[in-house]
Amino acid sequence: MKKLQLLLPMVLLALFSWAQQKTVTGKVVSKSTHEPLQGVSVHSKDRTVVTDAAGAFSIPANPGDALTLSFVGMNPLVVKVTASTTELSLVMEEGSNDLNMVVVTGYKSEKKVDLTGAVSVVNLAAVKNVPAASPMLALQGQVPGLYIQTDGSPTGANGNAPQILIRGVNTLGNTNPLYIIDGIPTTRYEDFANLSASAIASIQVLKDASAASIYGSRASNGVIIVTTKNGGTGDKVRIQFNTSITTQTERPWQEKVLNSLDRGKALWRAAVNDSTDPNNLVNKIYTYDWNGDYNNPILNQVHIAPFVGGDSTEPVGNTNWQDALFKTATITSNNLSIAAGNAKNGLLIDLGYYNNNGLVVFTHFQRYSARVNSHTSAFNDRLRIGENVQISRTSQINSTTDVGGAATPGLALTLSPTIPLYRTDGTYGGPIGPGYTDRNNPVDMQYLNRFNTRNQFIAVGNIYLDLEIIKHLVYHTSLGFDYSDLLAKNAALIGTEGPVRSFNSLALQDSKDFTFTWTNTLNYNIELGKNRLNLLAGTEAVRNDFSTFGAATTNFALQNANYLQLSSGVGAQTNNGSATGYRLLSQFGKVFYGYADRYLASFTIRRDGSSVFGTNNPYGIFPAFTLGWRINNEAFFKGAKNVSNLKLRAGRGTVGNQNIGNLSAYTLLQANYGTASSAFPQWLNIGTAYDLGGVNTGTLPSGFAQVQKGNPNLKWEQSTETNVGLDFGLFDDKISGSFDYFDRNTSGILISPPVAAAVGEGQTEYFNGANMNNKGWELILSYHNRTAGGLGYTITGNASHWNNIITSLPDNVRPAYPGDATHSIVGHSQFSIFGYKTAGLFQTTDEASKAPTQPGVLDGALKGAGRIRYVDVNGDGKIDANDQTWLGTTLPKVEYGIRIELNYKNFDLSIFGSGVAGKTGYDPTKFFNTFVSARSNFGPGTLSAWTPQNTGSATPALSLLNHNGEDRTSDFYFVNASYFKLRNVMLGYNLPKNIASAIKMEGLRIYVSGQNLLAIKSKKFTSKDPERANTFDLWPVPTAVTFGINANF
């Protein structure tokens, strides 16, 4: 009875408060253009919604509540809800104050002004209408601290995920960030890549440990949070259709190569320099008419054999293999979004189609996607039930390798031009006979690869329930799932040119990955006078199961798509399979306190228990605390009229990394059936028993072989970071920005030292044995204004720096990293380059003779003249391995970007560029124009190499014998790879609203844009595309032109 007496007033109070709530609808337009504003955040005490394409919104609120409207580039707007408020017509004025914007930071939302950690809010204008296969590729250079390295393939890494780093590198292992999509955690890049830009409501990047610690053991590499749109507003069905067509070409970035005649001239010069007879070099391809004088050589004529290898069906060619392999690509992108309903009941259907027909011949990337978000409310919006589901299916054929493993984009530069693309019978041309490499025709290799699809189906989503138990106390539960089914097909076909396979084969490999996440939270918000308190408590359970199955066979009578089925091969059939997974159970909490909009504090703690660690260390605890001081709200600061915002932030937190492999802590045994198997390392005695009599006869019995030693003490990699930041705004926030400094130490990094064979089989073991430090800074600065004539403009720049070094590493692991016995990797980054310094070229034999001894430098007709001079770093009078030193790192010291946005009446123009500084990279073009090979092609720089008559050249004298070892790692090839790229220029026009209304449209925008238009780079770096550093095997990033339409109904 007493319980009933206590419960009855609580129920009546709750029912009374429910009865007061109402649904407020409205429309938001721009003051300057009178156009609807899409994407405005409308925030009440307990709910946040976003305006649709017509600027409309619908939100539950109580009389007396304040609605806060925020939008990037607009001044915030606060509206009081009264008993008579039903329909609002609101106008927002241009400005740059987005402090009241509501952002998602981890199981909860909060205003940007209250943030005390390092959180970047992405400007979605940077993502919209960019013809990339992933929104991530459009973010390159846009967010300080977010480093993205890509190539020109559709996915940014030839079918794989591009390199994505948040605040540099904090581990020696997996560096992938954690993605949170509508509350669902995942490390699968494709879940983010397949999102439609039109369905994204917001993106936040949690960069420091104090901001990301709420995600505990998976947050060491940073967190990217995505919230998608939640349906319609204003009880009206709204339709948005976006379409674009893009053409791509690699021509502006194509490297120059030698034609057939000039290649012959370069080979002649190299042979003469080596004092060898050029007519004995490749005389089945080239013969020479020259004076025979090695001291004063004169070439009269180059004779090229009329047929490759004497085969009359393969006349000699003059092929530019880049023109043959690359083509103009066409990208089509279509997206249809249908939104209906209001804050109580809403539905969003988003359908997408993306197709890239391939910059490389016989490649393509295609994606179908669909998203359905819906929600409904009851009990005066105290109960809300909803779901978010996205399904996508991608199909891709990527660039491949030849029979010997050489990548086709690289072959497009190095294959001899004398080989024709086709023979006279229509088959592909290829190398025949002496003098030619054993590399294949890259176009033929792509043709043979045309059946090798990589098809992936992904379904990700959740169903959720929000229940306001009592006023200000909300219970949230979410059942999330993330499913991937990837089928890779590999048909290795027999070609007709060059080295050919002795038999054809077909292999199918299927991978299934399913993750289930159950999240429960209680969130309590209350304001008492000047005090604001938010309490969050929650639990999360994650179950992951991953399995693979593969089958293969050989010897197919026909090589066409219909016949290439596993049952058609008559050779040996094989199969494989595996299964693994992990479990994670977590408890977490967060307390936020604010006083008088001046003092802010938060404390976060998370406890994770994971199955991937040893039995002695399954749990990890990850705490964090932050403090914030809004100095501009202090009474003593009121006189600083020009300072509109000034907030000091500081925080310290710990996060973990469980991306170490599901089985690293366990002892592993594999079945051994007494027969030889490629599944086992060579050191295992498989097939025949070891016979003490030395006869090596006998068969091993079936059993199990140990392949890994378990470690019950294996524990979490932990990163502890201190972050100090300053947010500022000047002149009513016309100038705004922030600066952050961070210092992070990571301990217990997972390593696996080599094991001596004498120890015994299967003794490979993982343990926590390395430490690392990473420190740096980030800056973002923005200026916003509008002229008296109505021209609005915003200029935003960002820059970031990080420097990671290994602070401890066991001696027996160090050989796996750059350095040697006297130059430890400790104190340097794992991306450091270790090699020789150079000091130009020797100009005379006398110079080469008097210099520190370089083995082989005096060989050849030139006796050292024209050879690279290496620096005697240790001063011992000779050049050897002891003269190697540190040359730089392949990661940049600074990444930066600048974005300019202009709008005038119905026109808008955006210009964006980004770059890196302080990066050392291998220049493949310099090597290509320096180093000659009798069997490959090279660049035109070889024609102006050093000779006694051309001593001003910086290119070494050509040599085929390379007695001076000039292909060694040195600062001759590893040079300053800094660059700036003009990545995107977009011009748009919005149809006047009265005209759009007359044709029954909410709005119509047409635009044209160009991507990857210009590169400014170091003079020392000669490759045309600075993002193609290190190897020609990468696709060049193409130049593109896009035409598009955004239509709203």
Model confidence pLDDT, tens digit, residues 64-119: 788 888 776 677 788 888 877 878 888 887 765 566 677 778 888 888 888 888 99
Q: Round to whole Å and give the CA distance between 904 and 140.
A: 27
> Strand runs (DSSP E) across 305-436, as ranges?
329-341, 345-356, 364-378, 383-397
Supply φ then ψ for residue 864, to 5 degrees: 100, -20
- Residue 17 banded pLDDT, cuts 50, 70, 90: very low
Give the C-alpha distances (Å, rounded to integers) separating 565 from 394, 554, 562. 21, 10, 7
Give a yes or no: residue 48 inside a domain. Answer: yes
Residue 84 lies in a domain: yes
Lowest-confidence segment of 39-48, 298-307, 914-923 by average pLDDT: 39-48
* pLDDT single digits (tens) 504-516: 999 999 999 999 9
Q: What is the DSSP-derived secondary structure letter of residue 129?
A: T
Beta bridge partners of 147: 165
Residue 689 pLDDT exceeds 50: no
Q: Is residue 573 part of a domain?
A: no
Is residue 190 situated within a structural domain?
no
- The number of domains in the chain is 1
Helix, strand, or coil (residue 998): helix
Q: Phi and psi of 13, rounded to 5°?
A: -65, -45
CA 326 to chain centre: 24
What residue has token string 């709005």?
Answer: 1003
Contact status, residue 433 vs residue 305, Cβ threshold 8 Å:
no
Per-residue pLDDT at 935 exceeds 80: yes
Task: In whole angstroms, give the CA distance from residue 659 to residue 781.
Answer: 35
What confidence score (pLDDT) does residue 674 get?
A: 55
CA–CA distance, 395 with 397 (Å, rounded to integer):
7
pLDDT of res. 96: 53
Instruction: Give the integer Cα–Cα distance in Å for 368 and 394.
Output: 7
Name the 3-class secondary structure at 116. coil
Yes or no: say if 486 and 511 are a contact pair by the CB < 8 Å rule: yes
CA distances to 152, 157, 587 from 1033, in Å: 11, 11, 46
CA pair distance 925, 920, nearest whole angstrom: 15
Neighbour-count burial for 576-607, b at 16+ CB within 10 Å, e otherwise: eeeeebbebbbebbbebebeeebebbbbbbbb
User: Apex CA 828: angle with CA 826 and CA 832, to 5°?
Assistant: 130
- The Cα–Cα gap between 451 and 507 comes to 11
Residue 173: predicted pLDDT: 86
Does residue 237 contact residue 922 with C-beta atoms inside 8 Å? no
One DSSP character per residue, 256-270 reads P---HHHHHHHHHHH
Q: Alpha-carbon distance 157 to 1043, whole Å?
A: 25
- Long-range contacts of residues 286-295, Cβ cutoff 8 Å, at least 24 apart: 286/435, 288/264, 294/861, 295/861
Q: How confident is the model at residue 73, as a pLDDT?
A: 63
Q: What pLDDT does residue 687 have? A: 45
Does residue 282 sit within a domain?
A: no
Q: Using the structure block, give the residue that is written with the tokens 């190299």.
A: 270
Assigned domain for 548 exists = no
Encoding tokens for residue 687? Answer: 């097939």
Give the separation between CA 962 and CA 933, rounded to whole angstroms. 10
Identify the pLDDT of residue 712.
92
Has residue 696 got a pLDDT over 70?
A: no
Kindly state whether residue 72 falls inside one of the protein's structural domains: yes
Kindly indicate the confidence band of residue 6, based on its pLDDT and cuts at 50, 70 and 90: very low
In a domain, 471, yes or no: no
Are 76 and 90 a contacting pair, CB within 8 Å? no
Contact 620, 656 (CB under 8 A): yes
Q: Which two tokens stand for residue 747?
A: 């301990």
Give the max Cα distance, the chain: 118
- Helix (H) / strand (E) element for 411: namely helix 408-414
What average pLDDT score do residues 246-254 get? 97
Q: What are phi and psi of 528, to 5 degrees?
A: -125, 95
The per-residue pLDDT for range 970-1013, each reduced to its tens digit, is 999 999 999 999 999 999 999 998 898 888 898 999 999 999 99
**Domain boundaries, position 72:** 1-93
Q: What is the rounded CA–CA span in Å between residue 736 and residue 714?
A: 46
Phi and psi for 304 in degrees, rounded to 5?
-110, 130
Q: Distance between CA atoms of 809 and 769, rounded to whole angstroms?
A: 6
Q: Average pLDDT of 690-702?
A: 54
Token pair 């050029």: residue = 278
For residue range 379-416, list pLDDT tens digits in order: 988 999 999 999 999 999 999 999 999 999 999 999 99
Over the stretch 183-232, which tens digit does the pLDDT of each residue have?
999 999 999 999 999 899 999 999 998 888 899 888 889 999 999 998 76
- Does the pLDDT value for residue 680 go beyond 60? no
What is the per-residue pLDDT for 706?
82
- Residue 290 has, within 13 A of its CA and on its CB side, a CA count of 22
Q: Of how many residues is the chain composed?
A: 1049
Check residue 18 and give its pLDDT.
41
User: Exposed/middle/buried for 762, CB within 10 Å: 0-12, 13-18, 19+?
Assistant: buried
Q: How high is the pLDDT of residue 681?
A: 52
Q: What is the CATH number of the domain that holds 70?
A: 2.60.40.1120
Q: Indicate the pLDDT class of residue 258, thresholds 50, 70 and 90.
A: very high
